[in-house]
Amino acid sequence: MTEEINVSIVVPLFNESESLPELHRWIQGVMHEHSLSYEVIFIDDGSKDGSWNIIEDLKALDVHVKGIKFQRNYGKSAALHVGFEKAIGKVVITMDADLQDSPDEIPELYNMIVQQDFDVVSGWKKKRHDPISKTIPTKLYNWAARRITGIHLHDFNCGLKAYKNAVIKSIELYGDMHRYIPALAKYAGFTKIGEKVVQHQARKYGVTKFGLNRFLNGPLDLMTVAFMGKFGKKPMHFFGAWGMLMFVLGFGLFLYMGIDKLFFNTSALRLSERSEFFVALVSMIIGIQFFLAGFLAELIGRNSSTRNHYLVENELF
């Protein structure tokens, strides 16, 4: 009979060979101190610095260590997705490999899931060791994410998070969606989302692997998550509503101009010479395009393998 594992620790990494031995010793010490059964899943996202050799050495020394190596760099979301598929612990905790996330936080995160029955607990790096060029955009991004998703977290992008196993098995990550796992969990029906202030360590080795493109991709992904969460299975409700509004506005303006021309202002310019004519025409065309986009989205969704995929929490027959 397989031993029940309390905690699965999923660690995505890219060129972090210097920090891996220290991170492993730190995790190992915390787990033994608190008598928690565990597994550590390192996902090497195409590293070129010998990180995989370090993981192989750690595996030889510790049976709790597991590893996955990508052929090339696919990104953090892909690494987490594969790690989530393999995780078997009752609680799944994600953390970065650069030592900026403290393993000392793991026991309390675990207790918040097990004892307080949270579905998701997100870390909040209240005191950050980052330059102002990173902290200010991060604050703006977190504000926008709170407003759009309705989830009141201070730090959506914190890598240190804890989940019930059922949560990570119920969501799919792709692109750069790792920033919005709490939102994906909420749209999947896991609404008890908590937050914990965690210690933020200054980077000890190497340099950050994230570039300026995250400030562009982040808002775009946020809009995608919000749209898919609300209209993923009913796109016509979005496109149809906007299409109807635009078409009715355009048609109403045409009707107004026609009545005005026929009964009240017969000496005026022809309808095609009035600026309102083009506003009404463009509005109706946009409305029709929204309708067509909605129909196409419905046709694509109808053929999707997940169209009738629903998460069932329990069954009685």
What is the CATH number for 199?
3.90.550.10
Same domain, 69 and 183: yes
Read off the pTM: 0.76
Q: Is 1 a domain residue?
A: no
Helices (H) and strands (E) in the chain, counts: 10, 7
Q: Is the pLDDT of residue 315 over 80?
A: no
Q: Is the pLDDT of residue 88 over 90?
A: yes
Same domain, 158 and 292: no
Domain count, the chain: 2
Q: Is 114 a domain residue?
A: yes
Share of residues in the chain with pLDDT > 70 (%)? 86
> pLDDT of 164-199, one tens digit each?
999 999 888 877 788 889 988 998 889 999 999 998
Same domain, 156 and 256: no
CB 180 within 8 A of CB 219: no
**Boundary residue ending a domain (216, 231, 246):** 231
Same domain, 137 and 192: yes
Same domain, 113 and 242: no
Bridge partners (DSSP) listed for residue 197: 124
Span 282-310, mean pLDDT? Answer: 79
Strand runs labelled E in the chain: 7-13, 38-44, 65-69, 91-94, 120-124, 161-164, 193-197
Q: Is 249 a domain residue?
A: yes
**Boundary residue ending a domain (202, 231, 260):** 231
Q: Would you tell me how many other CB atoms lie within 10 Å of the CB of residue 202?
A: 9
CB 70 within 8 A of CB 143: no
> How high is the pLDDT of residue 29?
95
Same domain, 32 and 129: yes
> pLDDT of 240-252, one tens digit each?
899 999 999 999 9
**Boundary residue ending a domain (231, 246, 266):** 231
Rounded-to-integer distance, Cα 251 and Cα 20, Å:
65
- Residue-averaged pLDDT of the chain: 85
Q: What residue numbers bound the domain in which 203 lies?
A: 7-231
Range with lowest mean pLDDT among 277-281, 292-296, 306-310: 306-310
Under the banding of pLDDT at 50, 70 and 90, the label for residue 272 is: confident
Q: Is the pLDDT of residue 105 over 80?
A: yes
Q: Is the pLDDT of residue 279 over 80?
A: yes
> How high is the pLDDT of residue 305?
60
- As a three-state string, the secondary structure of 39-74 is EEEEEECCCCCCHHHHHHHHHHHCCCEEEEECCCCC
> How high is the pLDDT of residue 309?
55
> How high is the pLDDT of residue 1?
41
> pLDDT of 33-60, one tens digit each?
999 999 999 999 999 988 999 999 999 9
CB 209 within 8 A of CB 20: no
Under the banding of pLDDT at 50, 70 and 90, the label for residue 162 is: very high
User: Which of the two residues, 4 and 6, has the higher pLDDT score?
Assistant: 6
> How high is the pLDDT of residue 273?
76
> How high is the pLDDT of residue 271?
75
Q: Is the pLDDT of residue 102 over 50?
A: yes
205 DSSP 8-state letter: S
> How high is the pLDDT of residue 111?
95
Same domain, 142 and 244: no
